[in-house]
Homo-oligomer: A and B are copies of this chain.
Amino acid sequence: MAPHLVQPGWRFWRQAACTLGASVQHRTWAGVSRIPRLGSPWGATATSPRVYRSGFSTSPRAPEVMLTRERYPVRRLPFSVVSGEDLAAFERIVPGRVITDPEVLEASNVDWLRTVRGSSVLLLRPRTTEEVSHILRHCHERNLAVNPQGGNTGMVGGSVPVFDEIILSTALMNQVISFHDMSGTLVCQAGCVLEDLSRHVEERGFVMPLDLGAKGSCHIGGNVATNAGGLRFLRYGSLHGTVLGLEVVLADGTVLNCLSTLRKDNTGYDLKQLFIGSEGTLGVITAVSILCPPKPRAVSVAFLSCPGFSEVLQTFSTCKGLLGEILSAYEFMDAECMWLVTHHLRLASPVQDPSRFIPDQHTGRRYHVAESVCASEPVDPESPFYVLIETSGSRAGHDAEKLNDFLEQVLSSGLVTDGTVATDHMKVKALWALRERISEALSRDGYVYKYDLSLPTERLYDLVTDLRARLGPRAKHVVGYGHLGDGNLHLNVTSEAFSPSVLGALEPYVYEWTAEQRGSVSAEHGLGFKKRGVLGYSKPPEALRLMQQLKALLDPKGILNPYKTLPAQA
């Protein structure tokens, strides 16, 4: 049963009317079928081609990305250089899958954000754990540095080489090993694409416990190696809880088989936990066992407009109480985010308030009716916020009742000024795209300074407001969005091109601000190359020392993903 509301001004889509491209009441959605999803580099529903990011790098208009070693003060560590004998040895291990073609390598040397670029001359594509083991044994003996790479969708430069590290791609390790229909336990190779896995388990009545904007490209091994959070974190929690087992190849080629499918196993230390979030610096994940929750029978998404951040917070409290166990996501985005996705990606806002904005059909810019301010300039902080609330439950009628009660309450109390609800699968996806594709829209806006912070929810947005004032016209946009339900802010700043002055105004200011709130300077993106120097803002020296000891224990020569995660040692 679909939810229904009689609230004046509330736009409701009946499920029957929600097929893609069908005529719907709400004018901004008449063009829903125009959403350029397929072929998008970061498309929520895109299915092909897979290596979207390479589409960027091969674009004739895309400027060359500066080499990491030139932009950043980093020195190559004394690893060996790949020799002819090494190439011959690798050819014996992975025949026909030893790639040295610079054009092919280009896509693997540059991160998808196009902010860092390595100069690797060798890409290896193993198919099996045994092959990975042989490769690493050889690299360990020869002191060759290795950069494990999944879908290369990371945000912090962790997935591409810094210098000439050998790129060890999991792209061909893409087999599902088993799925247990009763328990929902999936076992698969590390290179399976998240979206493929989602499809695989959804056909069997389950869902993956994680979902993220990069699902069409990212590999499950990379998700685990970076402890990806994503859009279902609020409901299904961290990978530290949902990953049941891992198979990992250690730096010296030892295969560590902890690929358990058991929900509970307290035999000794839980070694797999060490590798979750270690960004490929402690071992190469080759297979994953993960618990998939049953697929909800009913999913609804409400996309709402809130007049201020305080109302965003109060709406969250209200929905936790009234939606309870069916609440599966609570995301927020500010008005600038909405401008970016509508402008750069031509997505349509389902909750535009025509009395407030008039979009210019030719330029894509929007104008405040009252003030006639060009919105491509920083929007003032009084602009509205949007929240996306997802419910997932086992009984559509019950869920609709809960959602309706919630919506009536937030509308009547003024916490929410406008909104729309979808239950149809395609409409749900289209609403999610508004939130999921912000990152893509930002990358089209210019050079992006990305911050992924955990903060006390009450103060989450203060930093955005603060930075707008601090940066003034130096920034093209300063936007805040993210997983409010998890206290996770994605703070992004764009400028026309990389600017040391903007960077200097942002750092260490953002990190100090976060540390003062006892927040995390990397909530879910990890540290990779770009953030490794800021670990100390969120962890004490004793923790840092222990991390370095663990690295030395597991990878004594430091060949695994060097220059990543841990700060450079003096």
Contact assessment for A266 and B520 in the assembled complex, using a CB-CB cutoff below 8 Å: yes
C-alpha spacing A425/B237, complex, angstroms: 28
Contact assessment for A240 and B273 in the assembled complex, using a CB-CB cutoff below 8 Å: yes
A151 at interface by CB-CB < 8 Å: no
Contact assessment for B237 and A183 in the assembled complex, using a CB-CB cutoff below 8 Å: no
A523 at interface by CB-CB < 8 Å: yes
A62 at interface by CB-CB < 8 Å: no
Contact assessment for A324 and B454 in the assembled complex, using a CB-CB cutoff below 8 Å: no
A55 at interface by CB-CB < 8 Å: no
- The smallest C-beta distance from A275 to any residue of chain B, in angstroms, reads 9
Q: Can you list, as one digit per residue, whether each of A533-551 has a CB less than 8 Å from chain B (1) or not (0)? A: 0110111101110110110
Q: Can you list, as one digit per residue, whether each of A56-79 has a CB less than 8 Å from chain B (1) or not (0)? A: 000000000000000000000000
Contact assessment for A257 and B394 in the assembled complex, using a CB-CB cutoff below 8 Å: no
A338 at interface by CB-CB < 8 Å: no
Contact assessment for B267 and A539 in the assembled complex, using a CB-CB cutoff below 8 Å: yes
- The smallest C-beta distance from A28 to any residue of chain B, in angstroms, reads 32
A side interface size, CB within 8 A: 86
- The smallest C-beta distance from A224 to any residue of chain B, in angstroms, reads 12
Known contacts A182-B317, A401-B398; decide if A268 and B323 are in contact (CB<8 Å): no
Q: Which of A388-447 contact B (CB under 8 A)?
A: 392-395, 398, 401-402
A502 at interface by CB-CB < 8 Å: no
Known contacts A260-B520, A524-B266, A542-B254; decide if A296 and B324 are in contact (CB<8 Å): yes
Q: Pick the contact of A268 from B237, B392, B401, B527 — CB < 8 Å? A: B527
Contact assessment for B266 and A227 in the assembled complex, using a CB-CB cutoff below 8 Å: yes
Contact assessment for B402 and A265 in the assembled complex, using a CB-CB cutoff below 8 Å: no
A326 at interface by CB-CB < 8 Å: yes
C-alpha spacing A322/B549, complex, angstroms: 49
Residues on B with beta carbons closer than 8 Å to the beta carbon of A262: 454, 487, 519-520, 523
- The smallest C-beta distance from A394 to any residue of chain B, in angstroms, reads 3
Q: Pick the contact of A255 from B226, B321, B524, B542 — CB < 8 Å? A: B542
Q: Which of chain B's residues has its CB closest to A532's CB?
A: B268
B-contacting 9-mer, from A103-111, A159-167, A276-284, A462-470: A276-284
A261 at interface by CB-CB < 8 Å: yes
Known contacts A182-B457, A241-B237; decide if A543 and B394 are in contact (CB<8 Å): no
C-alpha spacing A323/B297, complex, angstroms: 11
Contact assessment for A550 and B266 in the assembled complex, using a CB-CB cutoff below 8 Å: no
Contact assessment for B241 and A566 in the assembled complex, using a CB-CB cutoff below 8 Å: no
Contact assessment for B264 and A486 in the assembled complex, using a CB-CB cutoff below 8 Å: yes
A294 at interface by CB-CB < 8 Å: yes
Known contacts A242-B241, A394-B325; decide if A268 and B539 are in contact (CB<8 Å): yes
Known contacts A257-B542, A278-B269, A394-B322; decide if A524 and B237 are in contact (CB<8 Å): no
Known contacts A271-B547, A323-B394, A543-B258; decide if A226 and B266 are in contact (CB<8 Å): yes
Of A263, A296, A297, A566, most B-chain CB atoms within 10 Å: A263
With A237-B242, A266-B277, A324-B394 given, can you name 6 additional A-B contacts, CB distance below 8 Å?
A226-B266, A237-B237, A256-B540, A264-B483, A296-B324, A323-B394
